[in-house]
A and B are shown apart, each in its own frame.
Chain A
Amino acid sequence: MPKTAIEVHNLTVSYSQRPVLWDVDFSLPEGKLIGIVGPNGSGKTTLLKSIMGLVPLSGGFVRLFDQPLDEVRSQVSYVPQRESVDWDFPARVKDVVLMGRYRPQNLLRRLTRVDREVADWALQQVRMQEFAQRQISQLSGGQQQRVFIARSLAQQANLYLMDEPFAGVDAASEKAILDILLELKDRGKTLLIVHHDLNTVRRYFDWVVLMNTRLVAAGPVEEVFTEANLQAAYGGQLTVLAQVVDRVQEGEFPVREKKGKIG
């Protein structure tokens, strides 16, 4: 039995009262390449963000390697969606990759030669070394994604959370990115990837998390990625659940009763 990398326990998250994750609960093993799959607006990005502590939780908790996030933060690497930043920022490719070497501990210090060597190595891994001095706004979508992945590699983590790394990239970048994910897996790393393309799920992933606001199924691809589960995730919403969600939003009810308060 492999060790557990990610434990998500009864996780509930709401944006301005509307629940986007509802009682999501699963455990994922170490050393697997795991896809998160679900229709648009099903809370995939929010799930990743709540694992990273970037959104306030209405209920539940997350443990990574059986510890709270703050204990293992240096082992976890997060790759946000490419569109989440302004690529017209005055920085070169090298500058962005070096950000993967930033730590709270070296906030006030200069980066070392080791940091630069690791960044160079990461850039080589994504086959972008000749772009090191390039202004980031001059990159194609796929190249920008590779820069983000290089920044992530430079963190030298054990758990990688990536939000849509294959979205809007060219074939060459897709191949380069997949090679890197597979190599990381071979080195025993755990990867949790938000993915939108159902056609490639079987080819890319060992495990899959199927969701649509609630968890539909989580497990090995061959067991979980079934017609019935896909139907449950994509085939129309659960009408009662959707109605309750609307009612929660309209009435501004809390999704969870607060501890120590009389409801």
Chain B
Amino acid sequence: MKTLLEFLSLSDPNVRLVVLGTTLLGAGAGLVGVFTLLRKRALLGDAVAHSILPGVCLAFLVSQSKTPYILLIGAVVAGWLSLLSIDFLVRRTKLKADTVIGLVLSVFFGLGIWLLTSIQQSGAASQSGLDKFLFGKAASITSQDVELFAWVTLALGLVLFFFYKGFKLLAFDGDFARAIGMPVRLLEFLLSTVTVLSIAVGIQAVGVVLMASLLIAPAAAARFWTDRLSVMLVLAGAMGVLAAWAGAFVSYTAPSMPTGPWIVLALAFLTGISMLWAPKRGVLGRRLRQWRYTRKIAQENLLKTLFQLEELDGGEGARYSRVAILQHRELETAQLSVALRALKRRGWIEESDGLWRMSPAGREQARQVVRRHRLWELYLHQRLNLPADHVHAGAEAMEHLLTPELENALQKDLGFPVQDPHHSPIP
């Protein structure tokens, strides 16, 4: 706890640089990655990241300096070259896009590794540190780096803000964008440029090899939580920042731990959590809805059973034991107990001396379920010409699913009927 507070106070100037730097990179990559993901270009992002390596090496060889601005120029040029060659090969050959992406990625990366090795063997005094581009060098971010990151993040933030509408349309329906005369080529150029830029600076934090996840994971995680593009952008940026802090914190508490890989692990964790916990799209959310639905069905079936028992005996307010209920309808005993308790809590049934009966409110609920069941049976019978002895099973499921609106529609469509196909009254 104390370490966390120390870390968060940012009193250590080195921590300040690392946190500030990785925050900028995480936010930028997270924002840009949303469009990479929505345009289904995740693999392309990976290819660009790997292809940047030879650019960085060449920029170093030519300039003999490690000034971040010069290396960035090399990186952007190489990134763009890889994009153009992929585009060219896909259009001019019969190769599929994934094949071309794999090819370009490995050729550029191989070239980069070769350049890197020869630089290291040449023994130039200032060469040490270039290999940090492979796995990132977040822990040794300088103030000059942070300044560069700030400019780049500001630039891509502005581009995304001003061209938001255009990028949204491009990602959703490119043909329509072209049809209404949007400057699609300009938009594609801008989007590719900010993507290459964010990858080119991002590799300083997590390295070439892990860059794709910094780009894609925040967007993938954000997608689970929202159905709105604007919210998704904010969330993806926030996830990138959160992961950056987590990575920086881990390497702060354990200095031997590398920051970049921990950022990526934090992202994987965030994505996993989103996959599980996100309310609508998450696995657990879906399970929870299924479970609630099963419970609702059990309760409604129980009410229906009581209603039918009353119908048989012809008396409202009659009391029934669990055995009597189970004789009329097969239910698991455990399920029955849960359903009885739940209905009692809602005030729809009452218990005395182990006997159960419906309250007026409960009877109203039960009547609704039975009504929907019989209406649906009649609908299947009359409109789909199913024989009367075939309609029960379908109605068993539909009675829980029909909404009041659908029920009204059924009533109208069938002319407010009074009897189902088995001549039971529709209550």
Interface residues of A (CB under 8 A from B): 16, 49, 52-54, 70, 73-74, 76, 78, 80, 84-86, 89-92, 95-96, 99, 102-104, 107-108, 135, 137, 151, 155
Contact = CB atoms under 8 A, between A and B. Distances in A.
Interface of B: 38, 40, 94, 162-163, 165-166, 168-169, 171-173, 175-183, 223, 226-229, 232
What 3 A-B pairs have minimum CB-CB distances, sorted nearest first?
A78-B179, A135-B227, A73-B181
A108 B182 CA distance: 11
A90 B163 contact: no
Nearest to A85: B173
B182 A107 contact: yes
A99 B176 contact: yes
A107 B177 CA distance: 11
Contact of A90 (B166, B169, B229): B229
Given A78-B175, A91-B168, A135-B227, 6 more contacts: A53-B179, A78-B176, A85-B173, A86-B40, A102-B180, A102-B182
Given A16-B94, A90-B227, A92-B228, A108 B181 contact: no
B189 to A, nearest CB: 14
Contacts of B223: 90
A72 B171 CA distance: 25
Contacts of A52: 175, 178-179
A91 B182 contact: no
Contact of B180 (A84, A91, A103): A103
Given A90-B226, A108-B162, A96 B181 contact: no
Given A107-B163, A107-B182, A49 B175 contact: yes
Given A99-B172, A102-B169, A73 B180 contact: yes
Give the most central of B40, B163, B223, B227: most A CB within 10 Å. B227
Nearest to B161: A108
Contacts of A102: 165, 169, 177, 180, 182
Given A90-B223, A90-B227, A135-B227, A104 B175 contact: no
20 contacts: A52-B179, A76-B179, A78-B179, A80-B176, A84-B175, A89-B172, A89-B229, A90-B38, A90-B223, A90-B228, A90-B232, A91-B228, A96-B172, A99-B173, A103-B181, A104-B182, A107-B166, A108-B163, A135-B227, A151-B176
A129 to B, nearest CB: 16
Nearest to B172: A89
Contacts, number: 77
Contacts of B171: 89
Contacts of A53: 178-179
B229 A91 contact: yes
Nearest to A134: B227
Nearest to A16: B94
Given A90-B229, A102-B165, A108-B162, A85 B172 contact: yes
A216 to B, nearest CB: 26
A47 B349 CA distance: 67
B5 to A, nearest CB: 37
A70 B181 contact: yes
Contacts of B40: 86
A107 to B, nearest CB: 5
B180 A107 contact: no
Give the most central of A74, A95, A102: most B CB within 10 Å. A102
A86 B229 CA distance: 14
Contacts of A95: 168, 229
B31 to A, nearest CB: 14
Nearest to B162: A108
Nearest to A100: B180
Contacts of B226: 90
Contacts of B175: 49, 52, 54, 78, 80, 84
Give the most central of A85, A103, A151: most B CB within 10 Å. A85
A96 B173 CA distance: 10
A49 B179 CA distance: 9
Contacts of A16: 94
Contacts of A74: 181
Contacts of B227: 90-92, 135, 137
Contacts of A155: 180
Contact of A54 (B165, B179, B229): B179
A12 B186 CA distance: 28
B170 to A, nearest CB: 11
A121 B176 CA distance: 21
Give the most central of A85, A90, A99, A137: most B CB within 10 Å. A90
B161 to A, nearest CB: 10
Nearest to A99: B169
B178 A104 contact: no
Nearest to A96: B172
Given A89-B171, A99-B169, A135-B227, A104 B176 contact: no
A88 to B, nearest CB: 9
Contacts of B183: 104, 107
A212 to B, nearest CB: 24
Contact of A91 (B172, B176, B178): B172
Nearest to A84: B175
Nearest to A109: B165
Contacts of B166: 107
A45 B47 CA distance: 33
A84 B173 contact: yes
A39 B182 CA distance: 32
Nearest to B180: A102
Contacts of B173: 80, 84-85, 99
A102 B172 CA distance: 13
A53 B40 CA distance: 24
A84 B174 CA distance: 10
A107 B38 contact: no
